[in-house]
Structure 1
Amino acid sequence: MEQQLTIKKVLNNNVIIAAHPSYEEVVLIGKGIGFNKSTGEDVSFDKADKTFLLSNEQEKEQYVNLLPHIDEALIDFMNDILHHIEARMGQELNQHIHVALTDHIAFAINRAKKEMQFSNPFLFEIESLYPKEYQVATEVVTMIYDQMGIHFPEGETGFIALHIHSAVTDKTLREINRHNQLITRLVGIVEKTMDVEIDKKSVDYHRLVQHLHRAIDRVYQGESAGDEIRLAEMLKQEYPVCYNLAWKLIKVMQKQLNKPVDESEAVYLTIHLQRLTHKS
């Protein structure tokens, strides 16, 4: 039997909010699902192409306020985009992406139509840290161009990748951006201290950024990178500049994260810095 739900609010022809026996309220998205429908009427759960929960009241209010300003064709297209992201990432996405990514892409389309230029200062870090998300974001940008003829600047690919990463890790964009800002700052310190311009496309840069990202995660999880006392002494003697720079980075991390950073991180940072600055 088809499950019948009661309509609580019709947002537009393609989106309704309905009462669900288990989840209180669900958002149903489907072509024409809200056409000529009214509050209190029944609707078949099976008619929805996509369903999701908005248990967070703030997100629900944001979504309700957002929809009147978005073309209904875009809402339908967003359904295809989210299906594509889920299929490519191989997992369900956190529900908040329905609000956040819809909001972002709608404004990105407006920016592109007005030919507003902007840059994404974390583009290289995003591509290095989240290669799969970045690839899927590139595919989303291609889908938008094929469907709407709108060309997004490269910076938008980075922002979409962050939304995807947020949805698969359940981390907030604020938290992700804070970590990216810290990594960008640390890389800047390396370039200034060593008086080099690091090739952002190089394998060694990629390894350094990946290590810094994992080091930040270890700080939050209270993990150690390992006990490498003898190796630390050797590196301190062999590569004093890189070793001292590693400790400078650690102190910046400790101050910004407001957490202690394990001393063993200096060993692995020194190795990365020596390899990277030697090639530079």
Structure 2
Amino acid sequence: MADLIVQKVLNNNVLIGDHSSYGEVVIIGKGIGFNRKKGDMIDQSSAEKTFVLKDEKEQENYLKLLPFIENDLLETIITAIQHIKQRTGAELNEHIHVGLTDHLMFAIKRLSNGLEMKNPFLLETKALYPMEYSTAKEVVRLIEKKTGIHLPEDEIGFIALHIHSAVMNKELSDVNRHSQLITTLVELIEEQLDLKIDKESIDYLRLVRHLRFTIERINAGETVEEQGNINSFLKAEYPICYNFSWKLIKVMQKYLQKPVYDAEAVYLTMHLQRLQKKKI
């Protein structure tokens, strides 16, 4: 990492610094501001344990949060983000510093007032992003250990979405949109096939993961390999599931505003047929 020179100490954990490549940056790290003064150089070993906010908008938004957060909680969140980075092995999108800090501040404030927010995407998140969900559970345990504050399972789901957004370098709004789309598709499947899918079952896991990968392929404009005669076979053998798969594809097309390749209907029909067969 390039040299960092301290310009201003904001608290024990946050500095304004001068970066030889990026200019003015916000430097975040547990205890990074302790006994520092303007003009100090931050050595390589310290810098490896810090996060440097390079984006001006992220800097501005992060600095706006600081007056409203207690130092102990801020230290805990910084430690949690460091854990997320190590656990995922990813170069996190720096928006996680603003997004996750802001979310946890208000989640803890809500809980202290006896208000608990339900997470409509909890089961989908658990199924779609097992690594992120597992990491979020560790973050919640860390927060409880450091602060004594217990966050409920709904919050694990919210934290997991922040982690997924940062790891995949996606806007959180896109992640939420896709979770909402999957929820809509699952509800349509239950209604059309007149069944209730067990949200803890392997069938549900397979279905939502398939839908997730389909959405990601559509967004990326990727094609899937045509399956030759199987298309005609499924259309003739399972007409209800085949026709319904196209209805679901049209919902995806409308929602994502992108075309969907014909071969997607083959894979979706097979998932629908498996679910319908289990019902009988």
**Normalised by the size of structure 2, how large is the TM-score?**
0.92
| Number of equivalences | 276
**CA-CA distance at 1:32 after TM superposition:** 5.0
Q: Which residue of 2 aligns with 1:250?
A: 249
How far did 1:200 drift? Answer: 0.9
What one-letter code is carried by the residue in structure 2 that aligns with 1:131?
Answer: P
- Partner AA of 1:179 in structure 2: H
Within 1, Cα distance between the matches of 2:101 and 2:49? 14
Specify the alignment match of 1:5 in structure 2.
Answer: 5
Aligned to 1:45: 42
Percentage of matched positions with identical amino acids: 54
Q: 1:206 is matched by which residue type in structure 2?
A: L
How far residue 56 of structure 1 moved from its aligned partner, in angstroms, is 2.5
Q: Which residue of 2 aligns with 1:106?
A: 105
Q: By how many angstroms is 1:229 displaced?
A: 4.0
Tell me which residue corresponds to 1:211: 210
3-state SS in 1 of match to 2:10: strand
Cα distance 1:31–1:101, how it changes in 2: closer, same or farther (>3 A)?
closer
**Partner AA of 1:73 in structure 2:** D
Farther off after superposition, 101-110 or 261-270:
101-110
CA distance in 1, matches of 2:48, 2:114: 33
Note if contact 2:14-2:27 (Cα within 8 Å) is conserved in structure 1: yes
Question: Which is worse superposed, 154-163 or 231-240?
Answer: 231-240
Taking the aligned partners of 2:264 and 2:33, their CA distance within structure 1 comes to 56
Superposition RMSD on alpha carbons, in Å? 1.9
Partner of 1:215: helix, strand, or coil? Answer: helix
Aligned twin of 1:95:
94
Deviation at 1:37, TM superposition (A): 6.0
- Residue range with higher mean Cα deviation, 135-144 or 231-240: 231-240
| CA-CA distance at 1:251 after TM superposition | 0.6
Scaled by the length of structure 1, what TM-score is found? 0.92
> 2:4–2:20: 8 Å Cα contact kept in structure 1?
no
Which residue identity does 2:79 align to in structure 1?
D
Q: Distance in 2 between matches of 1:273 and 1:188?
A: 13
Q: Is 1:64 equivalent to 2:59 in the alignment?
A: no
Note if contact 1:101-1:163 (Cα within 8 Å) is conserved in structure 2. yes
C-alpha spacing 1:21/1:190, structure 2 compared with 1 (3 Å)? same
Q: What is the match of residue 225 of structure 1?
A: 224
Q: Structure 1: how far apart are the matches of 2:217 and 2:139?
A: 32
User: 2: CA distance between counterparts of 1:212 and 1:262?
Assistant: 14
Tell me, in whole angstroms, the C-alpha distance in 2 between the residues paired with 1:93 and 1:249. 33
- Equivalent residue runs for 1:97-136 within 5 Å: 97-136=96-135
Deviation digits for residues 211-259 of structure 1, max 9, x if unmatched? 1111111112222222124111111122111111101100101111111
Deviations 1:81-108 (A, max 9, x none): 1121112112231212111111111111
Match of 1:140?
A: 139
